[in-house]
Structures are given as structure tokens and as C-alpha cells.
Structure 1
Amino acid sequence: MPVSPAMAEDLAAEVARLYEDAEAALLERLAKALEADIESPRWAELKLAAIGNLRAAVEDVANALQQDTDGAVRRALVGAYNRGRQAAVAELGALDIGRELVARETLPNAPAVDRLAASMTEDTRPVYARITRAVVDVYRRIVSGPAGNVLLGTMTRRQASQRALNQFAQRGITGFVDRSGRGWDMASYAEMAVRSVTARAAVEGHIDALAEIGIGLVMVSDAPLECPLCARWEGEVLTLNGTPGPQTILAKHAAPPEQPRRGLLRRRPPASPVVVHVAGSLIEARAAGLFHPNCRHSLAAYLPGVSTRPPHHPTPGTTYEDTQRQRAIERHIRTWKRRQAAAMDEHARRAAGAYVRKWQAVMRKHVAAHPDLRRKPAREQIGAAR
């Protein structure tokens, strides 16, 4: 059974839900804090005086989020690593090397899990450091910003505050930049990080199991609707520990020598070595983008002389651009759900809800027009990765 990042997606879902709930809670607390006493002529003065209360409430959400996330991430990593290892067992179970792998200790590799957990902690550290400051800063701007429009009589204080709050909900708590230089909002950044690290755990569990029994080559699947980052690696053989770059190697034939027939005294000699064309190393491929978040590819053990190249998966009528259109529609749905969570009154809540339904209808139409696409409701929730 090949291993792929999708194998651990459901394990990352628990962590993603924690961030979804936290982002919704922060937006709701901010909206309620602004709405209180909004008709009072002393509203701005009261709001500024209440900053300490808001700060304490936001810190409570952030601390609870970090505490809950630490345990959920650890559970997800152990589960993902074990799934990757079990995939190797299932893949090779019918062979002698597979039976050897089954007999080995199947506890997760503690150093590997610890390393991945530390990586996740480091990647999400900016999230917790920024939550309180970001919410309090936008609160201050909203309290002081609408004054001019209100004095001019162009809008009420409620309308001005809701507009500013909508702008905040539109972009989320921003300021997180990944290693590629892309900007993310808080929940999307954390959800992307946990999905990436659980996917890595599944792949590492798989390749660690293969390395234990001396398998040093793997093969990348051919996935439908592949992105440009992955296309060059499709169907290619990679080394687990070899040097980077294309190369041709001579590998031992993986099939066991044929057993002697009755009446024959000698076994046939083992098969001749196999010439294998290797596209590069797994580390090189991953650094170039293979197994990025939402990657559809999988990885399987490559047995020289036994494994065959994967078949190509044609997708007539559907393109990679169609998948990106689906991602864009998901972003619109999430944006309006955040606006709904940040609504200060029922009118604003209903207006945002109408746009949520509008974009959900667009999604249904888009998926119906492209049979190779599948709708993923989890990606339409607040906090889902972009």
C-alpha cells in the first residue's frame, strides 16, 4: 500500500478544528466587545478603558488553543507515523521481506516523532505570539477609526464599526509568512503547518520501515490533475539516501531465485542485476515541492525487476486550473463565514450568510461541471488552509 500525504489528512483535522473554533471565538469576542454600549456618547472612552478585559479574554483563548494543540499534534504525529509504517507492511506483506517487517517492533520512532513535533512547535510559535497583539491592535483601530465618519454624519457608529470589523474578518489575523514567502492568516497558517507535518510523519514512517529491511529505492505515483511542482517527479524512481540528481545504477534483482522442482538437484541462479534510472533523491524531490500541502501523489517501494511504472491517469475535461478555481471558491466561502462570525447584529449576520450560500451554490455548480473534482466541506470551514 503506497503512502501519501492524504493518508494523514483526517488526523490533522482535529488540530484544524481547534484553530477554526479559536478564530471564530476571537471574532465573536471582538464583535461583542465593540457592540457593548455602542449607543453611549462615551463609547470610545469605555472601549479604551476595557482593553485590559479584552486582552485577558484573548489570552485565555490563545493559551487554551496552545495547550489543546500540543496534545492533539502529538497524537496526530504518532498516528501518521504508524500509518506510514503499516502501509509498508501492507505493501510488502506477501514477500519474505514483508514478513520480516511484520515481525519487527512496530512502536513509532520516538526521535522522529519528537523531531517533527519540535518542528511543528517552531513553525507555529509566531501564531501564539501574535494573536493577542493582533486582536488588541485592530480593536484600538476600530475604536478610534470610525470617529471621523460618525462626526460627519455619513454613517452610524455601528455601521462604521461593522465595516472595520468586516475588513478584519476578511483578511483574518495576518502576518505569518511561510518559507516560500507567502502570507497567511493565523488559522490557515497553523492548519497548513499541521497538515504538512503529519504528512511528513506518514512518509517518514514508511521510509523508515523500508530502510530497516534494506530497501533504498521508492517510486512516485502518477496522480490526476498534478501541479507543475510535482509533474517532473511522476512515475520516477528516487533514492532514500543516495546523492541528488539523475543517475543510472545497477541494482540487485528483487525477485527471489526460483525454487528447485522435484527431481532437480540445483536451483536456478539468481536473476541478473537490473539497470535502474533514478531521477534523484527523495530529499531533493521534497525540497522541490513534492508532497506539498494538498499533494495527490503517493510513494511506494521500488523493487528492481519486480515493480513497474504506474499507469497514467488522464482527466479529460478537467485541468489543474479547474482545481485552483475550486480553491478560490473555497476561499470565498471561508471569507464570508468569517464575516458572519464577526457580525455585530442580525442584519449583518444574515447578509453574510446570504453570500455564504451564494458561493456554496457556485461550488456545487463547479464540481458538477467537472466529474474529476470532489467537494471537500472541511476546506470550506473557517481556518482551512488556502
Structure 2
Amino acid sequence: MPVSPGMAEDLAAAISVLYEQAELALIEKVTTALAEGIDSPLWAQLKLAAVGNLQAAILEIIAALQADASGAIGQAVAEAYDRGQQAAILELGAVATGPALAAAEALPSAPAVDRLAAALVQETGATHLRILRSGLDIYRQVIAESASAPLLGVETRRQGAERALARFAEKGVTGFVDKSGRAWNLTSYVEMASRSALGRAAVEAHTDRLAAAGIDLVIVSDAPEECPRCKLWEGKVLRRDGESGAGRVEVEHATEDDRMISVSVAGSLPEARAAGLMHPNCRHSVSIYLPGVTKGPGPKEQRSRATYEQSQQQRYFERQVRRWKREAAGAMDDKRKATANAKVRAYQGRIRELVADTGLPRKPHREQLTSAR
């Protein structure tokens, strides 16, 4: 059975939803704290005096998040690794015999799972301080902006607070930058990191099993809606590990002893992955390549599904649905909440139109904000 990052996508969603809950809880805590007594002439002084109470409330959110996320990450990594192992065992069951198959089935997994889980816990844990800082920063910013608004004669204190909170709800907790320099908000960053780590766990488990069975070559699938980074590797044979670089190699036929055949190898799997293959949203898979037996993918079949660009448009619409749901959560009055909910419905309508036109599957979980703690 081929392996791909997509086989762990649902596991990543279970992790990111915890951070989505924390972000939503933060927005609601800050909004509630600021709304209380906003019409009092002493509002600004009272709010500044109560900053310690808000900090304690945010720290409670973070503590609960740490406890839940650590356990969820460990469980998700173990499951992703197991899925990768099982995919390899299913493939090997059809081709490996005797010692090779026994070695593949007996490979220990605990050290690899612990290492991968620890790395993801560390990466996501680094976001927790930013949650605290963002909550306190927006709280102080709203007090400063809304307290000065009546003096300027431009808008009421409540309107100033609503405007600042709407900006915060639109973006969420921000300030996360990946290795390529792209900026993310909290939930999107954690989802990206989790999908990357869990997809890596599944692929690593698969290749570990193949190594134990002495399988050295793999082949990349053809896939719909491929991105430019991955298209280069479609249908190519790769070394499971080892040296990079393309070339022809002489290998023994998979089923005929002492018969050597020439195979064109496009590089190594680590090289292809470093170039972008099997990124978190990648639809490609890799599977065992048996010299002289495995045939490459035929001509790409005609599909009614969308282009890569249209699949990314769907992702954009999903982000907008979540954005306006956050704004509804941070609204201080019914009118703003109704406006935000109308935006939610409008973007959901655009998603319905897109999936109807292209055949792309709708993913309702990517449009959801779960209830706050």
C-alpha cells in the first residue's frame, strides 16, 4: 500500500483543533474583560488595574492547552507511524518472503515515535508564550485606543474597542514564521507543523520498514491537482535513501535471479522531499519499486476535478469562514455579530459553488471553529 502525508491529515486536524479552541477562548476572554463596565467613566483605570486577572485567565487556557496537546501529539504521532508501517507491511506481504518479511514486521518503533513526538511538542510549545503576549497586548491596545477616542471626538469608546477587537479577531494570534519566511496565525501554523510532522512520521515508518526488508527503490505516484514543486517527481523512481543525483543504475530483476536490468533513477527520496515533494498538502504517494516488474504510471487520466489553483482557492474560502467566525466570537454587539455571521454564510456559499463546479470534496471540518473551553 503506498504511503503519503495525506494518510495522517485527520490526525493533524485533531491537534490543530485544540489550538483553535485556545485561540477562540482567548478572543472571548479578552472581549468579555473589556466589555465589562465599558460605559463607566473610570473604565480605563479599572481595566488597567485588572490586567493581572486577565493574565491569570490566559495562563489557565495555556496550561490546559499544554496538557491536552502533549497527549494528543503523542497519540497522533504513534498512530501516523503505525499507519506508515502497516502500509509498508501490506506492500511487503505481496513481495517479501522469509527473513526479509520477518525483519520488516519485527522493526521496533518506540524510539522513532518518541523522537518525532518530542520534536512536534517542542515546535508547538514555542507558540504558547505568544498566546499570552498577544492577549495582553491587544487588551492594553484596546484600552489605549478606545480611551482616547472620545477625547478626539471621532467615535465612542465602545466603537473604538470594537474596531480594535475586530482587527484582532480577523488575524487571530499572529507572529509565527516558518523556515521559508511565510507568516502564519496560531491555528494555521500549528496545523501546518502537525501535518508536516505527522506526514513525515508516516513516510519515515514506511521507509524504515522497506529498509529492514532490503528494498532500496521507490516510485512516486501520479496525482491530481499537483503543485509545481511536486510535478517534477511524478512517476519517477527514487532511491529510498542515500546519495542524491539522477542516473542509471544496474540492479537485479525483482523476480528473476542473476538477471540485471538498467533503471533510470531520478534521485533520492530525501532529495525529492527537500525540494518540496510530500509537503503537508501533497497528494502524491510513494510505493515499492520492483525492478523489471513495477510499471510507471500511464498517461494522466482525464479528470473532472479542479486544478491546483482551484484547490488553493477552496483553502482560502475555508480560512475566510474561520476568520469571520472568530470575528463573530469577538463582537461586542448584536449588529457586528450579525454582519460577521452573514460573511460566514457568504463564503460557505462560495465553497458550495466551487465544489459543485469542480468536483473537489468539501471538508466541513476545515470550516469549523469548535466551542471554547
Q: TM-score, normalised by structure 1?
A: 0.91
* Residues 248 and 276, structure 1, Cα contact 8 Å, conserved in 2: yes
306-315 or 24-33: bigger deviation:
306-315
Shift of 1:109: 1.5
Equivalent-residue separation in structure 1 for 2:246 and 2:319 (angstroms): 39
Q: In the alignment, which residue of structure 2 is the partner of 1:17?
A: 17
Q: Provide structure 2 residue ranges, at least 5 long, that are not aligned to the other structure.
A: none
Matched, 1:345 2:329: no
Q: Deviations over 1:115-139 (max 9, x none)?
A: 2122213322330121111110111
Q: In the alignment, which residue of structure 2 is the partner of 1:40?
A: 40
Matched, 1:335 2:315: no
Shift of 1:315: 3.3
Shift of 1:102: 6.0
Q: In the alignment, which residue of structure 2 is the partner of 1:295?
A: 282
Q: In the alignment, which residue of structure 2 is the partner of 1:70?
A: 70
Equivalent-residue separation in structure 2 for 1:233 and 1:223 (angstroms): 11
Q: Secondary structure at the match of 1:223?
A: coil
Q: Secondary structure at the match of 1:310?
A: coil
Shift of 1:375: 1.2
Equivalent-residue separation in structure 1 for 2:307 and 2:240 (angstroms): 31
Shift of 1:155: 2.2
Equivalent-residue separation in structure 2 for 1:203 and 1:97 (angstroms): 22
Q: Deviations over 1:228-282 (max 9, x none)?
A: 1101011111112221011111111111x4xxxxxxxxxxxx3621211111111
Amino acid at match of 2:321: I
Within the candidate set 307, 322, 327, 1:319 is matched to: 307
* Residues 291 and 297, structure 1, Cα contact 8 Å, conserved in 2: yes
Q: Deviations over 1:80-139 (max 9, x none)?
A: 111101001112322343895367555752221122122213322330121111110111
* Residues 85 and 202, structure 1, Cα contact 8 Å, conserved in 2: yes
Shift of 1:39: 1.0
Equivalent-residue separation in structure 2 for 1:120 and 1:329 (angstroms): 28
Q: Secondary structure at the match of 1:158?
A: helix
Q: In the alignment, which residue of structure 2 is the partner of 1:267?
A: none
Equivalent-residue separation in structure 1 for 2:21 and 2:201 (angstroms): 25
Matched, 1:155 2:155: yes
* Residues 225 and 320, structure 1, Cα contact 8 Å, conserved in 2: yes
Q: In the alignment, which residue of structure 2 is the partner of 1:275?
A: 262
Amino acid at match of 2:323: T
* Residues 100 and 214, structure 2, Cα contact 8 Å, conserved in 1: no
* 1:187-266 correspondence runs (5 A): 187-255=187-255, 257=256
Q: In the alignment, which residue of structure 1 is the partner of 2:353?
A: 365
Q: Secondary structure at the match of 1:343?
A: coil
Matched, 1:4 2:4: yes
Q: In the alignment, which residue of structure 2 is the partner of 1:141?
A: 141
* Residues 329 and 359, structure 1, Cα contact 8 Å, conserved in 2: yes
* 1:67-216 correspondence runs (5 A): 67-97=67-97, 100-101=100-101, 105=105, 109-216=109-216
> Any runs of at least 4 consecutive aligned residues in structure 1 with deviations exceeding 4 A, and if so which?
102-108
Shift of 1:348: 1.9
Shift of 1:19: 1.1
Q: Summarize the Cα distance change of 1:285–1:308 in structure 2 as closer, same or farther, 3 Å threshold.
A: same
Q: TM-score, normalised by structure 2?
A: 0.94
Equivalent-residue separation in structure 1 for 2:203 and 2:98 (angstroms): 18
Across the aligned residues of Structure 1 and Structure 2, the Cα RMSD in angstroms comes to 1.8
Q: Summarize the Cα distance change of 1:98–1:306 in structure 2 as closer, same or farther, 3 Å threshold.
A: farther
Amino acid at match of 1:48: L
Equivalent-residue separation in structure 1 for 2:169 and 2:98 (angstroms): 52
How many residue pairs are counted as aligned between the two chains?
369
* Residues 30 and 135, structure 1, Cα contact 8 Å, conserved in 2: yes
45-54 or 88-97: bigger deviation:
88-97
Equivalent-residue separation in structure 2 for 1:9 and 1:87 (angstroms): 15
* Residues 81 and 205, structure 1, Cα contact 8 Å, conserved in 2: yes
Q: Deviations over 1:278-337 (max 9, x none)?
A: 111111111111111111011101111111112324335732221121122112111101
Amino acid at match of 1:275: S
Amino acid at match of 2:221: S
Amino acid at match of 2:59: E
Amino acid at match of 1:379: R
Q: Secondary structure at the match of 1:306?
A: coil
53-62 or 95-104: bigger deviation:
95-104
Equivalent-residue separation in structure 2 for 1:12 and 1:321 (angstroms): 23
230-239 or 106-115: bigger deviation:
106-115
106-115 or 171-180: bigger deviation:
106-115
Q: Secondary structure at the match of 1:209?
A: helix
Q: Summarize the Cα distance change of 1:89–1:99 in structure 2 as closer, same or farther, 3 Å threshold.
A: farther
Matched, 1:381 2:368: yes
Equivalent-residue separation in structure 2 for 1:184 and 1:273 (angstroms): 50
Q: Secondary structure at the match of 1:93?
A: helix
Equivalent-residue separation in structure 2 for 1:22 and 1:135 (angstroms): 11
Equivalent-residue separation in structure 2 for 1:291 and 1:45 (angstroms): 53
Equivalent-residue separation in structure 1 for 2:21 and 2:244 (angstroms): 43
